[in-house]
Structure 1
């Protein structure tokens, strides 16, 4: 990891859940612009979307015509006329409505998943190209949330909400036209009911939104406390803090319970009250239409039947559209978070005419190198040093002195802010990135193992390696013995990054990986800092074997492991304080000598 970096909090950690009635709605900053970009991003993956528009119109048409035909049936019954063709038409409409909605779901499932597949692939491809500086600014959980929760919100909106929104919009328009056609006076009464529902919804959601926001904050605090308690349970038990941990959990859990009850009660008011208003409106229209029928203003009983059915259809979509729009806003906000990643600058591309690094010798030179993760806080200041090919160089110093930063610059995880780093006489930036990275074998303090077999983990950088080559690499690293004792030997699948192994065993596997890669330049970053002294000696012997006849750069806190190095560099506050062999630095009796004497007693 990089050192001396300023922590930048994530912009919006955690996932976005779909809001319910009165729930928290994450509003986009620029809905029009984001929708335009989303439309462009899905170009070439929208095949069949025209069918969705057509089917939505047809589904709305079937819904709008059904009450009208039902009214005609009532009129026919009251007049003693035949019902055969009317019932056939009505049955046909219902069958068509079912078929159309099935086709809607069929087409939308295919279109939605194809679009999301494309978005997720584009997003993942972008993440692969981003520099390490981006990952230093963002928590892994936040990035996972964007790849999963935000994309899922877009998927839900495309797959279901978009279809419903189109259908409801067409339905409201069609029903309104039919209501006005049947009776403008009764339509005015229905509109009054819709206005009352909107007013009620606005009043209730204004209150519930605050409660749901508070609930989300308390839930976040509770989740954080649970995560800390579980991950640090050994420390909690070691310091006998179980009661305090339980008390803190109970306080947050109780507060969450109270806030949730209030939020749910308030949100629970909405639907019953809307149903009351709907029913009152329905009764008012029924009574009013009955009076008009008795007075002779309306002469068709079927018209009243159709209108009452239209009233039911007219009010419900407004509430559903409000909820769909909330989900739609949340999905667009998620799309904005996705576009924030897509807008990030990727790693610098190979310059035009970049050189191939086919047979690196390993001559490294740092010329007046300066660098800072934050421009205002330099980590390295005017560092100049030559590392001849085939030599072993150790870099030591206090935490934050810039040791790991040099490694990050050598492998071009970052580029220097000033000066240059040369490999075999050429600036690192002159080489093709893949060739440059292939020239380095890296063993880090934090072991990186994958949920695959031991064999696959060792062959990670050399997947075509034969089994005998893998075993030979493990023997050189001193890992063959314990690997053979695993349940399935080299075919044992490691779970959770190899947590079933000891720290030393995991480190030996990573060293075996570096041996198999056979890179001409080897970097060992604190490879023995987290192991016991016996394992340290095993790792040290393995390091000595793999460092032979190649350029190696070793970062170490335990000075006893690097005393045989050809050159030792002591960094202090980003500058070279001392440089030389172990004997030369001990004779100098400076900072290095003091560190060595302190460690060895």
Structure 2
């Protein structure tokens, strides 16, 4: 009984519970997003009828207990036996516990099924999105949508929904009982509720702005902390420790001042609510006492029951306001999820898309134009004809469009003008999966996964035999260091292979490309961040895997592409020079100057 008479801390429209210090994030379209979220749960609502019934039963227990307590008082007053009534009261409380347990049991099952479906739907959508989407969004922010936003929805469904139903039934039930007991006393009790709503409106008007400012300043402070920790070596190298500490103190002081004002304003609410609640309780007690003396109330049991109802009546309003706050945060998270679900996926295959079973590797770029944004083209009227088996090196200054050529070949992006054909057909005419399997790709940024070395090499070729994996590693020159690992090919890589050197990680990605046995190889800056010894190993591996295949090599170190059949120099999105190494040296143009700068000599 005691716990039901206590009013919990509130979190009303931006007022946080003590220790949270965080305002609710308001959605842009609450009703529309809530409806979409409801529709997303279609097929996973089995058991909601039981939740509704159990919520009504739980509310019924809360509503009946004060009434039975009043009957106990009347029985004692009249000298009647109270054993049966007490047993009923004990049974009611035991039943309430059982009902709430079953309520949580069903809600946990339903909530997790719904969240499982939302996570699966979101992840399936993400894998269909084009790379342009990921280029425009920070990976950490997308991770936040997959984890934090989904968790907010999970918490709301699992906890807040059952409470909202229970409190809704409780308010209706208690109000009905109060009206049945005494309409006049009910009006006195409702006056306190009106005052609480008015107080909440006044306080939240100030706290919403203050908590918003608190979150903004907290973000600024966190940003400096992240910069200071990640760049601590630079801070120490330039002796900027004192300046960094001074900046931190200024931002921390500003956050402290805003937080104090926000907490003081939010701290007004609960004490004032308790004062109003207590005054209302006293007013009802005095008024009911006067009515009893005047003979207008039948007995002390009615007064006892009504006073207990008054104590319970304000609590659901406070909790529903808090639940509404949680719903706002969850719905705001759902909006962020729906933003991803509404994005346009990669273009689907044409209905008459061609299979690509025996590709030769003839590539033709015909007057290709492309820009990541329409107003700023990156490639301008590029035309190339690459016969099957040709080794092509693409060079040029940073930002000239070299990697963009690779993105277009693999259809990570589609051309905005012109066309690219493979074996005489436009890339867009082929089935996407068939096209992607044509390319073996080694990128500058090595991507290894938290699994064994064997699984990383066989990534995309899960049915590969162990001997094939070892042969790919030998071809790439990676077998020697793999054998030195604690468990050889069964060694599990942690944190993307952080325990390996950059060169070793690159050799593993080359071994992965070797195992694909793809007819077209793409090597994008594969030697850009390794030492000269490792560079030679990678260069030998590159020569092996490029033999007999069409290959595209992007490199800044021109020494690694001297033996290429064709070297294409791209500047400002256009082909500036093209030819073999010897032809470009004899031309004495931009390539020859770049080669002389790197090697100190223009000799062939």
Mapped to 2, the partners of 1:281 and 1:202 lie a distance apart of 19
- Is 1:469 the counterpart of 2:468 in the alignment? yes
Q: Select between 84-93 and 147-156 the one with higher mean Cα deviation.
A: 84-93
Deviation at 1:531, TM superposition (A): 1.0
User: SS of the counterpart of 2:447?
Assistant: coil
User: SS of the counterpart of 1:171?
Assistant: helix
- Is 1:393 the counterpart of 2:409 in the alignment? no
Matched ranges for 1:217-228 at <5 A = 217-228=216-227
Matched ranges for 1:11-22 at <5 A = 20-21=16-17
What's 1:367 paired with?
A: 366
User: SS of the counterpart of 1:52?
Assistant: helix
Residue 111 and residue 467 in structure 1: after superposition, are their counterparts in 2 closer, same or farther (change >3 A)?
A: same
Q: Residues 528-575 of structure 1, C-alpha deviation per residue, up to 9 Å, x if partnerless?
A: 111111111111111111111111100011111111110011111111
What's 2:90 paired with?
A: 91
Q: Residues 239-298 of structure 1, C-alpha deviation per residue, up to 9 Å, x if partnerless?
A: 332332233233323333333333223322222221121111111111111111112121
- Is 1:46 the counterpart of 2:45 in the alignment? yes
Deviation at 1:97, TM superposition (A): 1.1
- Is 1:532 the counterpart of 2:535 in the alignment? no
CA contact (8 A) 1:23 1:208 kept: no
Matched ranges for 1:424-573 at <5 A = 424-573=423-572
User: SS of the counterpart of 2:354?
Assistant: coil
Deviation at 1:23, TM superposition (A): 4.3
Q: Select between 454-463 and 109-118 the one with higher mean Cα deviation.
A: 454-463
What's 2:165 paired with?
A: 166
CA contact (8 A) 2:521 2:550 kept: yes
Mapped to 2, the partners of 1:243 and 1:449 lie a distance apart of 39
Mapped to 2, the partners of 1:466 and 1:482 lie a distance apart of 20
What's 1:253 paired with?
A: 252
What's 2:332 paired with?
A: 333
What's 1:200 paired with?
A: 199
Q: Residues 119-144 of structure 1, C-alpha deviation per residue, up to 9 Å, x if partnerless?
A: 10000000011110111111111111
What's 2:133 paired with?
A: 134
What's 2:10 paired with?
A: none
Mapped to 2, the partners of 1:111 and 1:361 lie a distance apart of 53
What's 2:288 paired with?
A: 289
- Is 1:307 the counterpart of 2:306 in the alignment? yes
CA contact (8 A) 2:473 2:511 kept: yes
Mapped to 2, the partners of 1:18 and 1:277 lie a distance apart of 21
Mapped to 1, the partners of 2:108 and 2:393 lie a distance apart of 58
Equivalent residue pairs, number = 585
CA contact (8 A) 1:388 1:551 kept: yes
What's 2:235 paired with?
A: 236
User: SS of the counterpart of 2:383?
Assistant: strand
Runs of at least 5 residues in structure 2 that lack an aligned partner in the other structure: 1-12
Deviation at 1:18, TM superposition (A): 9.9
User: SS of the counterpart of 1:395?
Assistant: strand
Deviation at 1:218, TM superposition (A): 1.4
User: SS of the counterpart of 2:347?
Assistant: coil
Mapped to 1, the partners of 2:202 and 2:93 lie a distance apart of 37
CA contact (8 A) 1:19 1:327 kept: no
Mapped to 2, the partners of 1:599 and 1:284 lie a distance apart of 91
- Is 1:345 the counterpart of 2:341 in the alignment? no
What's 2:182 paired with?
A: 183
Q: Residues 431-460 of structure 1, C-alpha deviation per residue, up to 9 Å, x if partnerless?
A: 111111111000000111111111111111
What's 2:410 paired with?
A: 411
After TM superposition, where is structure 1 displaced by more than 3 Å over at least 4 residues in a row? none
CA contact (8 A) 1:18 1:330 kept: no
Mapped to 2, the partners of 1:488 and 1:268 lie a distance apart of 59
Q: Residues 376-431 of structure 1, C-alpha deviation per residue, up to 9 Å, x if partnerless?
A: 11111111101111110001111111100010000000111111100111111111
CA contact (8 A) 1:504 1:535 kept: yes
Q: Select between 517-526 and 91-100 the one with higher mean Cα deviation.
A: 91-100
Mapped to 1, the partners of 2:22 and 2:453 lie a distance apart of 48
User: SS of the counterpart of 1:446?
Assistant: coil
User: SS of the counterpart of 1:569?
Assistant: strand
User: SS of the counterpart of 1:129?
Assistant: coil
Mapped to 2, the partners of 1:455 and 1:191 lie a distance apart of 71
Runs of at least 5 residues in structure 1 that lack an aligned partner in the other structure: 1-16
Matched ranges for 1:261-272 at <5 A = 261-272=260-271
User: SS of the counterpart of 2:127?
Assistant: helix
User: SS of the counterpart of 1:500?
Assistant: coil
User: SS of the counterpart of 1:369?
Assistant: strand
Mapped to 2, the partners of 1:483 and 1:245 lie a distance apart of 43
Mapped to 2, the partners of 1:527 and 1:239 lie a distance apart of 33
Mapped to 1, the partners of 2:227 and 2:539 lie a distance apart of 35
Deviation at 1:19, TM superposition (A): 7.0
Deviation at 1:230, TM superposition (A): 2.4
Residue 581 and residue 376 in structure 1: after superposition, are their counterparts in 2 closer, same or farther (change >3 A)?
A: same
Residue 27 and residue 554 in structure 1: after superposition, are their counterparts in 2 closer, same or farther (change >3 A)?
A: same
Mapped to 2, the partners of 1:553 and 1:102 lie a distance apart of 64
Mapped to 2, the partners of 1:218 and 1:471 lie a distance apart of 54
User: Over aligned residue pairs, what C-alpha RMSD do you find?
Assistant: 1.5
Q: Select between 297-306 and 31-40 the one with higher mean Cα deviation.
A: 31-40
Mapped to 1, the partners of 2:255 and 2:496 lie a distance apart of 35
Mapped to 2, the partners of 1:102 and 1:422 lie a distance apart of 64
CA contact (8 A) 2:15 2:207 kept: no
- Is 1:81 the counterpart of 2:80 in the alignment? yes
CA contact (8 A) 2:15 2:266 kept: no
What's 2:353 paired with?
A: 354
Mapped to 1, the partners of 2:248 and 2:432 lie a distance apart of 49
